[in-house]
Amino acid sequence: MEWLGATIPGSNFTVFQIVVAVAVIVGGILVAKALSLSFKRLSTPLMSGNDSKLLQRIIYYTVIVIAVMTSLSYLGVDFTGVLLAGGILGIVVGFATQSVVSNLVSGIFLQMDKPISIGDPISIIDGDLSGVILEINVFSTTIRTFDGVNLRIPNEKIFTSKIYNFAKNTARRANITVGIAYKEDIAQVTEIVKKTLEENPLVLVEPAPLVYADNLGDSCVNLSIRVWTPSSVWFPVRTQLVQQVKKALDDAGIEIPFPQRVVWQKKGAR
C-alpha cells in the first residue's frame, strides 16, 4: 500500500489524494442521481413533467458542482476568489431573477396550500378575471377564461390575490331580487314564488329556500329569494329561476313595476 503515499511525478499530489478526490466526485454523481430520482418520484403528483425535469436538473448539477468543489478544495485549490465573485454574481442574479424566484416560491406554496385545482372555475384579481384552471405549473398558472381565451398568469399574482373558488364547496347559494307593485299581497306572492322553487328539482329542499320582503323600494316592494343549489349547476339554475319566477308572477297577474315617479303639479302653476 506504500504506492498510495507516492507523489505523482510533476505534481504535488499523492495517489491517495487523487483517489479520494475522484471518489468524492463519483460519490457526488451517485448522490445527485439518487436525489434527482427521489425528487422525480415525489414531484410527479405535484407538478407538470417539464417543471419536474427542470428542477431535477437543477438538483443534479448543483450536487455535482458541490462535489467537484469539495474535491478540488481537498486537493488544495483556493476558492476564495471564486466564492467572492460567485457571491457578487449571486446578488446580481438574485436581483435579476427576483420575480422568477417569487413565482417559483408562489408556485410551490400554491401546490402545498391547494386553494385551486385543475378544472376549478375561479375568479381572481377582485373579480377582474374569471375562468377555469387548465394548468398549474411551477412558475405560472393557465386559465381558460369563460369567453374561451387561454391566459397564463404568473403564480405570484394568483397567490397574492383574492381567489374565489366556485367548485370548492358542494353547494352554493343563489340570490335573486324581484320587485312587486305596492298593491300586491306579499304573502300571496311569496307563496307563488315558493311553489315555483319547489317545482325546480335542482333547488335544494335542505337548506330550505328563503323568500321574504327585503325592503320597500322607490317603485316596488323588493322580495329576496335565496336558494341553495349544487355548485355544479349554480349558474343554469339561477338563470332558470329568474325566468320561472317571472313567468309564475306574470301568470298570476302580479305586477312587476318599472321605476316610476309621481309628479304633482301645483294648482295654478304653468
Partner 1 sequence: MVISLIERFGTYEVRDGLEIELRDEKISLKNVGEDHFRYRRERNGEIVAERLFTNKDASVRLALWPSRPINTPQPLGHHIMLRLNPTISLPPKSQATHHLTMPIEIGVFTVSKEGNGNGGNNYMIDTFSLTRQRYALYGTPDTGYICRLHDTVPNRAAKPIPYEEAAVIMRFENPLDDWVTITRIVLEANMVDLYAKEDTVYLEDSDVMVEDGKVANVFLNNEPPLPGLLEVPMPENTKKIRLSLLERTGLGGACRFTMEYGY
- Contacts with partner 1 by CB under 8 A lie at 168-173, 201-202, 204-207, 228, 230, 232-233
Q: What CA–CA distance (Å, rounded) separates 110 from 113?
A: 5
Of 17 and 196, the one with the shorter C-beta distance to partner 1 is 196
Neighbours of 71 (CB within 10 A): 21
Of 153 and 167, the one with the shorter C-beta distance to partner 1 is 167
**Least distance to partner 1, CB of residue 251, Å:** 20
Of 44 and 169, the one with the shorter C-beta distance to partner 1 is 169
Name every residue whose Cβ is closer than 8 Å to that of residue 172 and which is 6 or more positions away in sequence: 166, 228, 229, 230, 231, 234
**Bridge partners of 121?**
132
Phi, psi of 214 (to 5 degrees): -90, -45
Q: Which segments within the chain are labelled E, that is strand?
A: 121-124, 129-136, 140-145, 150-154, 164-165, 171-180, 210-216, 221-230
Of 68 and 163, the one with the shorter C-beta distance to partner 1 is 163
Of 204 and 245, the one with the shorter C-beta distance to partner 1 is 204
**Least distance to partner 1, CB of residue 207, Å:** 6
Tracing cell 381558460 back to the chain, one arrives at 144
